[in-house]
Structures are given as C-alpha cells and as structure tokens.
Amino acid sequence: MNNLYKVLLASIFALALAACSGGEPTLDMTNESAFDSSIQNVMAELDEAEQERFSEALSAIMMDEMMKGMSEGKSEEEIETAMKDRVQGKTANEIIAEAQ
C-alpha cells in the first residue's frame, strides 16, 4: 500500500510539471537568436489582430524604457538591460496588459 501512494504521488507530481510546461509561449531575452525564436513562437499563437496589439504593446514598452533611461542618464547598455528585464519571460497577454 505504501508503494501505491508513492507511485500515485509521483504521477501527480509528473502531471503537475507537464501542465506547467505547456502554457503560453514567453519571450526569451537571453540573446538575439533566443529573442527572435521566442518572438516567432509567441506570434504563431496569435491571430492577426492580437499580433498587431502585441507588436504595438512591445514597441510601447521598449520606447517607455528607452525614454525613462535617457531621462535618467543611463548608458545604452543599461537601457538595453532594462528593456530585456521588463519583458523577459512574459507572454503576449502579459505584454499587452502591461502596455495599457
């Protein structure tokens, strides 16, 4: 009986992990090729109207970080890092919501 509980617990854990990994695609800002690939993955999940909203939202966030960084006298590298940090790991819906 004890082994049955262990197997059941392991199965539940495996299902939980599988459910977590199957979510919406997110942006990967670790490097340029990862970013390009993640943008394609995110866009592939969206219809045409959502693609436009996502693109506009991403541009607005990037512009906001650039303007904020320039007004604070940050270097280009610091601004780029802030842009990446702000969208890293976010889904299209999270990007759109943040830009509103």
In a domain? residue 85: yes
User: Are 53 and 96 in contact, with CB atoms under 8 Å apart?
Assistant: yes
- What average pLDDT score do residues 10-31 get? 67
In a domain? residue 29: yes
Residue 92: closest CA among 45, 49, 59, 36: 45
In a domain? residue 61: yes
Least confident range from 2-6, 20-24, 37-41, 92-96: namely 2-6
Mean pLDDT (the chain, rounded): 84
In a domain? residue 77: yes
In a domain? residue 45: yes
pTM for the model: 0.74
In a domain? residue 89: yes
pLDDT in tens, 35-84: 999 999 999 999 999 999 999 999 999 999 999 999 999 998 998 999 99
Domains identified in the chain, total number? 1
Domain that holds residue 65: 24-99
Share of the chain above pLDDT 90, in %: 65
User: Are 64 and 22 in contact, with CB atoms under 8 Å apart?
Assistant: no
